[in-house]
Structure 1
Amino acid sequence: MRTRLVGLTLAALLPAVVLAGCSGSEEPGADPSATPTVTESPSEEPSATPSLDVPDGVELTTQGSALELGDTATVAYEVDQSTVGVLAITVTDMRRTTFKQSFQGWKLDKALKKANPYFVEATFKNKGETDLGGQRPPLYIVDGNDTLVESSTFVSDFDACPSKDFPKKFKPGKKVSTCLVYLAPDAGELVAVSFRPAQEFNPITWSGDVLKLGAKRKG
């Protein structure tokens, strides 16, 4: 799959999409930086990536693997220049929702209202040797324009789908389940969930039926 790396480029230019809410009688407000921004970077064929050190016995999922909901991929990626993360990732659900259904009481600007909101549920197990506490789950969605979209974060509680970073302590062997929020710009559609930590990485993707929020998934 050839994609424009909007998620990775966006992360380098400005904060992730942030929706701000407040409690009490005051009207919830949105952070001015919350406007979804689409920044294109040239598409290019993935090339081989340098091998990363992983613990003995850990077998990484082949780059380019096309998985389905419920499948697990074991991946390694550079968290920073001195830290390698190793995760077993299982994407378990993909849902489409609406701002009217899930964001009542939130103040959204016009650009945000043009986006399509999606919820993605996934589990992460730390199979490496480093604490990944506080890191953002390294998953994106791919929209119908082959664009990567980064998950949103919140400055206040969002019970419908918390979309939080990993816990402050996420040590080797620990497992967390989370729900991530994605806002696909310009009414974009969720085509797949993608693990692609670098442009030269041939992405590992998960696909399946994207159901309406609240609908029962068969099987």
Structure 2
Amino acid sequence: MKTIRSNRHTLALVGLAAAGALTLTACNDDAASSDTATTPPATQAPATSSTAPTTPAPSISAAAPTGAPTAAAPGTAAAPAPAGATAAPGTTVKIGDAATIPFSSGSTKGTVSLTVTSIDKGDPADLTPLKLGDKAAGMVPYYVRFKVTNVGSTDLSFSSLTQMKGTLPDGSEASEVMLIGTFDKCPHPSFPKGFTNGQSITSCVLALAPQATKVAGAEYWGEPYTLGKGVNWK
């Protein structure tokens, strides 16, 4: 996907609606040049029910407010974290429980322990600084917060885990806001320098749901998983 530069103007790229799903991308004027938004491959798509998705989701891009990047401080484990058996596609665990997953970011590959720690309901007014316009009308933000711990032998410095999505009560995909730059209510930092075995970091993804429903779960769908056949938290 193209790198998005806003030059302090609101940008909007509106796709056709498909199956009621919506993906939004918000970027920061002062985001580092290395920040890019990545669109899931066209063969991956939002689920319309409990079955695997079949059609690609549309996307919208919008400018976010400026501000200095805010990163969550990584924690340090007292001892090396062991890597357990990796979760199989379709695995479901409880919110608050960890799953061990293969992790890749470009040519960097390792193993991490991933935990969705909470899903917090926000206020529609939270979205105002992101200038998402009418496409966010009637939607409520939810903050999917998670913790990543390096349990492998690879240094994952400066990598990012971004393939986390909110899910609705029926298991279908919630609308997503892919953040580039700073949004204080949902920090999404890259892994810091020295992110080796035992190091942890907290992060967040922003998902939207219509007022009549809610974001009730989350799914990690990064390689080797795919949308609808990832690791789920409920």
TM-score by length of 2: 0.57
Give 1:32's aligned residue. Answer: 12
Choose the corresponding residue for 2:184, options 144, 147, 159. 159
Relative to structure 1, is the Cα distance of residues 70 and 145 closer, same or farther in structure 2, using a 3 angstrom cutoff?
closer
Matched, 1:109 2:133: yes
1:5-48: CA deviation from partner (whole Å, max 9, x where unpaired): xxxxxxxx5679x9x797xxxxxx543248844977497769xx
Give 1:79's aligned residue. Answer: 105
Percent of aligned pairs with the same amino acid: 23
Relative to structure 1, is the Cα distance of residues 90 and 42 closer, same or farther in structure 2, using a 3 angstrom cutoff?
closer
1:80-135: CA deviation from partner (whole Å, max 9, x where unpaired): 3x4323110111111122222x2455533111334431101111101123233232
Rounded to whole Å, the distance in 2 between the matches of 1:118 and 1:69 is: 14
Give 2:69's aligned residue. Answer: none
Rounded to whole Å, the distance in 1 between the matches of 2:90 and 2:161 is: 22
**Range that drifts further, 122-131 or 57-66:** 57-66
Q: Which amino acid aligns with 2:201?
A: V
Q: Provide structure 1 residue ranges, at least 5 long, that are not aligned to the other structure.
A: 1-12, 23-28, 47-54, 208-219
**What's the Cα RMSD here?**
4.0
Give 1:61's aligned residue. Answer: 87
SS at match of 2:135: helix
Give 1:129's aligned residue. Answer: 153
TM-score by length of 1: 0.61
Give 2:122's aligned residue. Answer: 97
Q: Which amino acid aligns with 2:147?
A: T
How many equivalent pairs are there? Answer: 176
Structure 1 residue runs of 4 or more that deviate by more than 6 Å after TM superposition:
42-46, 185-188
Q: Provide structure 2 residue ranges, at least 5 long, that are not aligned to the other structure.
A: 16-21, 25-41, 54-80
CA-CA distance at 1:69 after TM superposition: 1.6
Q: Which amino acid aligns with 2:167?
A: V
Rounded to whole Å, the distance in 1 between the matches of 2:138 and 2:7 is: 19
Rounded to whole Å, the distance in 2 between the matches of 1:182 and 1:138 is: 12
In 1, are the aligned partners of 2:96 and 2:115 still within 8 Å (CA)? yes
Q: Mapping of 1:1-20 within 5 angstroms? A: none
Relative to structure 1, is the Cα distance of residues 42 and 142 closer, same or farther in structure 2, using a 3 angstrom cutoff?
closer
